[in-house]
């Protein structure tokens, strides 16, 4: 029986890299985004070309209505709860401002999506997963949250982003503890500097830093690097590691002299 994954923010960047690798593993996909379906049609077809079923679930996770729409669309496509939730959707601050200059508007924009939205979407999907497992102990369910090295690495010109990502790390710990007895493992993946639309505006900066030795592995990370990590978790390669953090950062966070 085919398994279904729900990937938030799955039409581009890291989310699309995850979707591609899961499609290669024969997962059916519910891909979430905020753009009209016509705007993401090419991405959806690229996934379908891998021979899996793909549905688009538009919706903004920062709103209760958006989350409800996403969950309903996923249920309808899967014929019940999804087997895998990948929390990937996120936004950066509209302007990178010093910690002493950032605004409540920017803080709310980032935290409402990256942290609050992810928390309550996870809550809704976890409830469905628990019910499914109570009805059928063989129902496989897993949750993966994509955070960032910004959970622990300070950037004083985007403090709201760092705070949200640090919150996601605790979110993963909380849900892993709560869902352990339910047989639902929870994982966190912390990407480093990944080539995507979110980093396009600071590409020159990171080109320079990487050339100067920022990472042990001297290259940009690619969305497919994160995708491979999610696919490995989805295969069940880490059955006794719930609550753990998987770093996908090219060694950037290794303390070095």
161 a catalytic residue: yes
Nearest Cα residue to 109 out of 124, 88, 122, 90: 90
Buried b (16+ CB within 10 A) or exposed e, 26-35: ebbbbbbbbe
| Rg, C-alpha atoms of the chain | 18
Residues facing 56 on adjacent strands: 31
SS3 208: helix
* CB count in 10 Å sphere of residue 217: 13
Of the residues 56, 161, 206, 240, only one is catalytic, namely 161
Distances (CA, A) of 198 to 61, 91, 122, 232: 18, 8, 23, 25
| CB-based contacts of 13, cutoff 8 Å, min separation 6 | 194, 196, 197, 198, 223
Are 81 and 129 contacting, i.e. CB atoms less than 8 angstroms apart? yes
Nearest Cα residue to 15 out of 90, 113, 81: 90
Residue 58 CA to residue 76 CA, distance in Å, equals: 14
Which residues are part of the catalytic machinery? 161
């Amino acid at each position: 029986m085919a398994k279904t994954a729900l990937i938030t923010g799955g039409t581009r960047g890291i989310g699309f890299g995850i979707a591609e690798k899961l499609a290669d593993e024969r997962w059916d996909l519910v891909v979430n985004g905020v753009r009209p379906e016509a705007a993401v049609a090419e991405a959806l077809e690229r996934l379908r070309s891998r021979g899996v079923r793909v549905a688009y679930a538009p919706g903004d996770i920062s709103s209760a209505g958006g989350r409800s729409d996403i969950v309903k669309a996923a249920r309808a496509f899967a014929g019940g709860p999804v087997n895998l939730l990948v929390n990937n959707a996120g936004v950066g601050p509209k302007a990178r401002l010093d910690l002493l200059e950032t605004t409540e508007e920017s803080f709310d924009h980032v935290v409402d999506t990256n942290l609050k939205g992810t928390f309550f979407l996870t809550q809704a999907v976890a409830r469905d997963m628990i019910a499914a497992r109570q009805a059928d102990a063989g129902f496989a369910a897993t949750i993966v949250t994509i955070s960032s090295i910004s959970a622990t690495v300070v950037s004083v010109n985007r403090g709201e982003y760092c705070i949200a990502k640090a919150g996601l790390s605790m979110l993963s710990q909380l849900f892993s503890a709560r869902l352990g007895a339910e047989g639902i493992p929870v994982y966190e993946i912390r990407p480093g500097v990944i080539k995507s639309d979110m980093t396009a505006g600071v590409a020159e900066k990171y080109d320079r830093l990487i050339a100067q030795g920022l990472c042990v592995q001297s290259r940009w990370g690619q969305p497919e690097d994160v995708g491979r990590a999610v696919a490995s978790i989805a295969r069940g390669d880490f059955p006794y590691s719930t609550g753990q953090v998987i770093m996908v950062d090219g060694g950037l966070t290794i303390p070095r002299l």
